[in-house]
Structure 1
Amino acid sequence: MGLTDLPGELLELILCSGVLSAADIGRVSCTCRRLWETCQARGKVWRERFRRRWPSLLKYYSQTDNVNWLKEYKARHNAGLETRRIVASFSKRFFSEHVPCDGFSDIETLGCPGHFFEDELMSILNMEGRKCLTWKYYAKKILYFLRQQNILKNLKAYLEQPGDQLSFLEGAVLIDQYCNPLSDICLTSVQAQVDDITDKVRKVLRTKNPRHPSLAPKAGEVLIVSDVEFQRQVLDAMNCVLYEQLKYKGNEMDYYNSLNSFIHQVLIRRTGIPISLSVLYLTIARQLGVRLEPVNFPSHFLLRWCQGKEGSTDIFDYVYIDAFGKGKQLTVKECEYLIGHHVTEEFYGVVTSKEVLQRMVGNLLNLGKRFWTSCSMSKRWIHPSMGQ
C-alpha cells in the first residue's frame, strides 16, 4: 500500500505531525493531485502547521472563518523576516530622545497585520541565553512604542464617549495598559475577576436576604436598587467579602509603590491606595445596583452614598465611604478628621470619570517625581571616595 492509498484522515494525521516542515508539506503537495487536495490552502494540514509554529496567533481567528491558512502562513513568515531586518538595522541614534520622531516610520508602514509584527518581536524577546541582547533591547523599545500608540488610540476613543457612558474600570485598565505595555492586561480579564467578586457578594447577600433585588438582575437591564435599606445590605455584604473574606486592605506600609495604582495589581495583591480601591469598590456596587459616586477629596479619595433626595447638592445628605479604610462610612466632620483640616463644600462634590483618570495619572506622575528626587538626594550623600 502506498502513501496515497491511505484513508484521508490517516493521511492528514501524518502530514499534521511535527516531523514535517512547511517546506516539506509544500513539496509533498506538488507530487500528485491526491496529496495536493489533502494539503489544500484552507484545509486542516496548513492550519495545524500555522498553529504549531505560532500558537498564540490562533486567538485572532474564528472557528467559523474560512481562512486561507497557507496565505496566512506566508504572510506571518514574511512579517517575521521583515521584523528581524528592521530590528537589526536599528542604532542608538533612534533613542536619543524619549520617543523617536522618525525611527519607527518603516514599521508603521508595514503591509502585514500588526499582531504578526508584535508576535515576532515577542519571539525575539523570548530568545534563550545572552545572545542577541542588542536585538532584544531594540525589540523591547519597538514593542513599547507600538503598544502604547494603540493604547493611546483606545484611550482617545474612550474619552470621546459621553461622560455618563464611561466605565471607571475601563479607564483604570487603559492607564494600567499604557504604563505596562508588555504585560498581558485586558479589560475582559479584569472584568471577569471583578464579576467573580460580585458573585461572592451575592452569595453573602443571599444568606442575609434571599429576596434582595440584587440577586435576580434581568438580562440587558441596568440594575438599580432604590431602597436605602437594600443598598445598606449590599454595602455590608461587600465589606464582608472584600475586607473579611478576601482580605483587601489599604497599603499603608508601602503607600508610594506604583503597583498600588495599577488595577490588575490591586486584584492580584489585594491592596492599593484610596483611588484604586475606590474604583474597584464603586464598580462592584454599581453592578449590584447601588449607585456610589466618586469624590475628589484632597489627599484621600472617597466615595459618597446618597441618604437624601437623589441629586441633592447638600453635602450632609451623603455618607462618605473610605474604600482604603475597609469601607468605613464617614460623616462630613469625620472626613475632615481623616485629613486633619477643614475643607470647603466644593471638595465633597462628585467628579466625572475623566477627572478620576486625571487624578490617577497625576498620582503616577508624582510617584515618578518622588522617585527621581529620592535618587538625586541619595547621590548627594555619596562620599566622593565611594564613587557613584
Structure 2
Amino acid sequence: MDMLPLEIIELILSNPFLSIKDVVNFSSTSHYFREIISSSNTLWRQKFRDKWPDLIDLFDNNFNHYYEEIIYIHNIFRETQNKLELMPSRFCKKYEISECELEEWTEILNNKHENYYYLVLYLMDIVNTNATIQSVDVVPLNTPGNKTQQYYASKVLRHIRQVHLSKEWALFVNIPQKEQLLENGARFVAQWCQPHLDISQKKISAKLDKIANAVKRKLRYVFPNHPIFAVPVEELNKWKRFNLERSHWVQVECRQIMQVLKEVLFEDMRFTGNNVAYYMPQNSFINEVLDFKQGLPITLAIIYEAVARRLGLLCLPINFPAHFMLRFTEDGREWYHIDVFNGGNVVKRGGCPHVRSRNMATSKKDYPVATAVQVVERMANNLEVSARQHTQVNGRVTRLRSSLELLKLVCPQDISALVSLARLYMLHSMDTRSLEHFLLNQEFQVPEQAERVVHMLRDYEAHPSRSRTEQNSTVEAARRTPDLKFAVGMVMTHLALDYKCVIYDWDPECLASEDWQEQMHVDLLKFGNKQPFYNVLVEDGSHRYVAQENLQPTHDTGFLYLNDDVGRHFSHFCQNHYVPNANKEKEYPQDKAVRLTYHTEFLKYGVLS
C-alpha cells in the first residue's frame, strides 16, 4: 500500500463513501500515511465538500488549509455542545433568556467570520431533527431528539441569527439604493423571524427566477415577437441584481408583459391575498408566500416587483396608510397602481380602494415612492401587529419580542416600540442592560422620552428582587403529600374545558392570590382551594393553574408537541407521558414512581383510571 503513488491514495480516500472519520482512522495506521494524508489539501477539500457542501463557497480556490479547518470545525462543535449542556441548570427557571446572558455566543461569532455558519449548521441539525427516544428514564442532553437540547439550541440559534443579521442590516442601509432590492429586504425579515430555517438570498432569487421564466415561456407563446427574447443574458442578469431606473419597453410591449405576468401569477399559479387569516405572521414571510401563494399586500407586491424587474418593468412600491400597492408609469407620463392583493387589478391614478379620503388618494405628493428601508420598517410594524392580534397563544411572547427587536433595529427612533420592548423585558425578568445601553447611545428627536425609559429600566434593575443570585442556586426537592394523585410529566384532559395538557409543577394546595381565586371561582369547586393544584402546559401554548378535581389522565396528547415550552421541562415523550429532563427530575424525584404506575397500567390494560 505504501508503494502506491500519492495520487492513487488520494483518489481512493476521496471516495464519498469514506467519511472523515474513516480517513482519520486510516491515517493513524502509520506515520507515513498520517504525514501524506494530513498534508493533502486536495483530499481534505473533497472531504469538506462531501460533508458540508453548503459551506464550500466560504473559501476561494486558493484556500490551502482544509485539514486545519475541519479540525477547527469539530472543535467548534464540541465547544457548542459543552455550552449547551450548561444552559438547563442556568436558565431552567427563566421564560426568556436575555441578550446579555448569551454574550458568550456573540464572542464566538466575533472570533471568526465563518463561525456563524458553523454554529448555524450544528444548531439547526439539533433543532430540526425528528429523532425519537424510547425510554422512561432521563436521557443525556446530547441524545438526538432531546427536547431540552432542542429548546436551548433554538434560543441560541435565534440569538446568533439576529446578531449576524444586525450586521447585514448595517451593510444593507449603506449600499447604494440601486442595490437595495426589496426581495433582499423581505428575505432579511423572513430570516429574522424564522431562525430555524435557512432562508438564503440564493434560494429566494431562484424561486423568483422560476416565476419569471414561466412568464417568458407564456409570453413567447402569446407574443412570440416580443423584443425581450433578443435581450442578452448579461442584461437580464443586470436587471435581476439592480433596481431599474426605467422600464425597458414601449407602451404596447409593457402591456403585453403585464398581461401575461398577471395571468401567470394570479390565474396559473394562483397567488392571492390572504383575507381569511390576515394576521398570520406567515403572510409577511416571503419564503412562505412563495411556497403557499398567499400573503399580505406588501409581500405579494415585493414578489410582483421582483418578477417584473427581471422582465425589464419598473414597478415602484407605494405605502398607502391602510394598503400597499405598486405604481407603474407608462412612457414616463401616465401612471396607475397595481393592486397585487386583489389579483393584480389596475387602479387608475387618483383611486385607492383602501384609503378613507379620496382627496388624499389623488395627491401624488402625499404618497411618494417608498425606499427599501421604509418597506422593511412597514413589514416590521405589520409583524408587531400580527404578534399582538393573532389569537394563537403558542409562541406569542417570542414572536412579539422578535418583532419589537426587529423594530428596534430597523426603526431605532420608534420610541413606542422601545417602551413596549422594555416592558416585555421587565415582565419576563430579563436583563435590560443592552436596551439601556442602546437608549443611551442613540440620538432621539425627543431625548426626554428616551431618558424616561432609561429611568424606568434603572428602577427595575435596582429593585431588591433583581439583586438576588440568578438561577444557579440549588433547587430543593419537592415532597409529595398523600392527596397528590398525579405527577409531573403526566398528560391530562381538563374535564370542564376539554383541552390537553401536561403537568410540569404542582402545589399541595392552591397558592394563587385571593384575587385570582375569586376571579376563577375556586370557592365553587368541590374541594375548594384545599386540594392540589397543578401548573400545566396546554396544547394552545399557554400555561395554566388547574385544580386536581378538574384533571383526568389521558394518552391523547393533542397538539402538545407544538407548545414551545415543552423542552424547558421535558426531554422526550414516551408512549403516554413526557419524561422530565435532569433538572425537573431533581426537583420532583418522587414523581417518577407515580408516573410509571400510570404508564404500566396503560401498557397492561390500554386505559388510565
TM-score normalized by the length of structure 1: 0.83
After TM superposition, the structure 1 = structure 2 runs for residues 344-383 of structure 1, keeping only pairs within 5 Å, are 344=360, 345=363, 346-371=365-390
C-alpha root-mean-square deviation of aligned residues, in Å? 3.4
3-state DSSP of counterpart to 2:248: coil
1:305 aligns with 2:328: yes
In structure 2, the residue matched to 1:287 is 310
1:366 CA drift (Å): 0.5
Cα pair 1:25 1:39 within 8 Å, conserved: no
Distance 1:268 1:53, change over 3 A: closer
In structure 2, the residue matched to 1:116 is 118
Worse-matched range after superposition: 20-29 or 65-74: 20-29
What per-residue deviation string (whole Å, max 9, x for no partner) do you get for residues 27-69 of structure 1? 2241x4xx3454243245545555666565445345x344333
In structure 2, the residue matched to 1:314 is none
1:371 CA drift (Å): 2.7
In structure 2, the residue matched to 1:238 is 261
1:128 aligns with 2:126: no
Worse-matched range after superposition: 205-214 or 241-250: 205-214
In structure 2, the residue matched to 1:27 is 28
In 2, Cα distance between the equivalents of 1:122 and 1:351? 35
Distance 1:88 1:248, change over 3 A: same
What per-residue deviation string (whole Å, max 9, x for no partner) do you get for residues 89-136 of structure 1? 221189565533143236514756413333333344348335424333
1:160 CA drift (Å): 1.5
The one-letter amino acid of 2:387's match is G
3-state DSSP of counterpart to 2:192: helix
In structure 2, the residue matched to 1:4 is 2
3-state DSSP of counterpart to 2:191: helix
Match of residue 39, structure 1, among 27, 37, 40: 37
Match of residue 157, structure 2, among 138, 143, 146: 143
In 2, Cα distance between the equivalents of 1:238 and 1:382? 57
Distance 1:55 1:167, change over 3 A: closer
Cα pair 1:298 1:347 within 8 Å, conserved: no
The one-letter amino acid of 1:135's match is Q
Cα pair 1:296 1:351 within 8 Å, conserved: yes
Match of residue 89, structure 1, among 82, 86, 91: 86
1:328 CA drift (Å): 0.6
The sequence identity of aligned pairs, in percent, is 27
The one-letter amino acid of 1:206's match is R
Worse-matched range after superposition: 65-74 or 284-293: 65-74
1:188 aligns with 2:211: no
Which has the greater radius of gyration?
2
Distance 1:55 1:358, change over 3 A: closer
What per-residue deviation string (whole Å, max 9, x for no partner) do you get for residues 265-307 of structure 1? 1110011111111111112112222212111122221112224
In structure 1, the residue matched to 2:273 is 250
1:263 CA drift (Å): 0.5
In 2, Cα distance between the equivalents of 1:261 and 1:210? 36
Higher helix share: 1
Cα pair 1:151 1:174 within 8 Å, conserved: yes
Match of residue 75, structure 1, among 72, 77, 92: 72
Cα pair 1:118 1:143 within 8 Å, conserved: yes
In 2, Cα distance between the equivalents of 1:19 and 1:279? 43
In 2, Cα distance between the equivalents of 1:13 and 1:309? 62
The one-letter amino acid of 2:131's match is E
Match of residue 330, structure 1, among 343, 347, 351: 347
Distance 1:271 1:42, change over 3 A: same
1:212 aligns with 2:226: yes
Distance 1:197 1:53, change over 3 A: closer
In 1, Cα distance between the equivalents of 2:260 and 2:158? 41
What per-residue deviation string (whole Å, max 9, x for no partner) do you get for residues 350-386 of structure 1? 222222111111111110111379899x9x9988669
3-state DSSP of counterpart to 2:121: helix
1:199 CA drift (Å): 1.3
TM-score normalized by the length of structure 2: 0.55
1:152 CA drift (Å): 1.3
In 2, Cα distance between the equivalents of 1:38 and 1:297? 66
List gaps (5 residues or longer) in structure 1.
Answer: 311-316
In 1, Cα distance between the equivalents of 2:309 and 2:95? 47
In 1, Cα distance between the equivalents of 2:230 and 2:287? 28
In 1, Cα distance between the equivalents of 2:308 and 2:21? 55
